[in-house]
Amino acid sequence: MKQPGKGKFDAAALWQFGEALLTASGLADDRARDVAEVLLEGDLLGHTTHGFALLPAYLKALKEDMMEKRGEPVVVADHGAALTWDGRYLPGPWLVRRAIHTAQKRLAEHPVVTVVIRRSHHIGCLQAYLKPVTDAGCFILLTCSDPQSRTVTPHGGAAPRYSPNPLAVGIPTSGEPVLIDISMSSTANALCQRLAAAGERLPGPWLVNREGKPTDDPQVLFNNRGGAILPLGGTDLGYKGFALGLFVEALTNALGGHGRATGETRWGASVFLQLINPEQFGGREAFLRETSFFAQVCAETPVPAGKPSVRLPGHAALARREEQLAHGVQLHPTILPALIPWAETLKVNLPSNV
């Protein structure tokens, strides 16, 4: 085998490796399978900070009983088209997949089905959940907040108050779906952690230090240096990202009835999931006609000489996914070395290089 962390890995072998680590840590087979597959999907799509890079933290949470291994979510409210669960800090990817399955079944009776989950554990990469739903012809909205996390400052502020609050949307078309996954902050926590650990800087001044001055140094977020991530839009247009961050807080923590006001200290997620059946509105064919037309118009927009063509959200990720499924997954070089101690402790064989 090549040097650990180098080279490419077969996607199925990686999935089996992740699943084996999780089952050896006490998760039931179906839960381990969902968690491993969602994390792998993050890497396949190119979200290398939200794929197998999260697995050591998940394994640590299982070891320390901060992620629940057994039991079911508690139904807080059920009104048919609107459902609220207390996730009890069960594995986030398993909970979200279960919620999607539940919502899809209920679309037979309701045009729109909404599931809110409070006290889920971390749910990974949001884009990883979208394609199976759009393949089924449904429109999906998924967003989350971490009520114990405070790394993003409100527009004009100089101190952290809330989490990056990603928002994902899957839109079916007659061709490739549009798969949106963006944070309501200028960057994500995980990227800042990775760059800080490597002694590197961000591509731009996406943070502020404790005095409120913009900086590209991720170290200001750690070791009590008091910095914060700017809202999406930065110092100029951050009022837009801040507004969207408030929107996510209302959809997740507020609708779920649990969050920042309750003083949550455990790593996890408040989740908002909504599935929409286009057939029950203007009709599926009309929906696809509109989404496909607009996607094509945007893709064919003239660009300045020498510049690449307009790219629709998710299309580069889907191309990357197809390439990696065919020719092997390129993990970030820090990922496998971080998993080797867990593999040794749990007696799980490492995946071989392609």
| Per-residue pLDDT tens over the stretch 162-214 | 999 999 999 999 999 999 999 999 999 999 999 999 999 999 999 999 999 99
Are residues 134 and 91 both part of a single domain?
A: yes
pLDDT band at 2 (very low <50, low <70, confident <90, very high): very low
* Confidence (pTM): 0.96
Give the burial string for 132-147 (b: 16+ CB within 10 Å, else e): bbbeeebbbbbbbbbb
Asked if residue 258 belongs to a domain, the reply is yes
Asked if residue 1 belongs to a domain, the reply is no
Are residues 160 and 114 both part of a single domain?
A: yes
Asked if residue 352 belongs to a domain, the reply is no
Asked if residue 305 belongs to a domain, the reply is no
Asked if residue 2 belongs to a domain, the reply is no
Asked if residue 268 belongs to a domain, the reply is yes
Query: Per-residue pLDDT averaged across 217-221, rounded?
Result: 98
How distant, in Å, are the alpha carbons of 12, 17, 344 from that of 40?
9, 10, 21
Distance CA 170, CA 132 (A): 9
Statement: residue 269 has pLDDT above 80: yes
Q: Name the domain count of the chain.
A: 2
Are residues 199 and 166 both part of a single domain?
A: no
With tokens 């007696």, the residue in question is 347
Are residues 222 and 254 both part of a single domain?
A: no
What is the model's pLDDT at position 98?
Answer: 98
Asked if residue 117 belongs to a domain, the reply is yes
Are residues 47 and 97 both part of a single domain?
A: yes
Closest CA to 131 of 329, 335, 320: 320
Domain containing 212 equals 189-231
- Starting at the edge strand found earlier in the chain, the sheet holding 207-208 runs 214-215, 207-208, 228-229
Question: Which residues neighbour 3 within 8 Å (Cβ) at sequence distance 6 or greater?
Answer: none
Domain boundary among 166, 197, 231: 231
Are residues 209 and 126 both part of a single domain?
A: no
Are residues 171 and 225 both part of a single domain?
A: no
Query: Per-residue pLDDT averaged across 221-225, rounded?
Result: 95
Instruction: Return the CATH number at 194.
Output: 3.30.60.50
Are residues 128 and 251 both part of a single domain?
A: yes
Pairing state between β 214-215 and 207-208: antiparallel
Are residues 221 and 247 both part of a single domain?
A: no
Instruction: Return the CATH number at 251.
Output: 3.30.1370.60
What is the model's pLDDT at position 1?
Answer: 39
Are residues 157 and 214 both part of a single domain?
A: no
| Per-residue pLDDT tens over the stretch 34-69 | 999 999 999 999 999 999 999 999 999 999 999 999
Asked if residue 280 belongs to a domain, the reply is yes
Closest CA to 291 of 313, 324, 316, 263: 313
Are residues 144 and 263 both part of a single domain?
A: yes
Cβ–Cβ < 8 Å for 184, 244? yes
What is the model's pLDDT at position 37?
Answer: 98
Are residues 223 and 168 both part of a single domain?
A: no
Domain boundary among 231, 262, 294: 231
With tokens 């507004």, the residue in question is 243
